[in-house]
Amino acid sequence: MLAQRGTRIGVHHVIGLLQNGETIDTLRENCFPDLTRAQIYECLSYYEDHRGEIDLLVAQQMAPAWT
């Protein structure tokens, strides 16, 4: 799921950053200024219903790339 239609910002990107110390405010200011607070809360809501799927995507995103 995309956090904002028409962008390439995935829910797992938002959740991964929040899990790694960003707050909703710093996420908006420093990472995704085009997202509204409501859209970030929609990501959290989606995450609550799809936790296993999103956790897997976050883990894959955070894993070191093997070359």
Question: Which residue has 């991964």 as its token pair?
Answer: 16
DSSP 8-class letter at 50: S
Say whether pLDDT at 6 is over 80: no
Tell me: the pLDDT tens digits for 13-50?
999 999 999 999 999 999 999 999 999 999 999 999 99
Output phi, psi for 49, to 5 deg: -85, -15
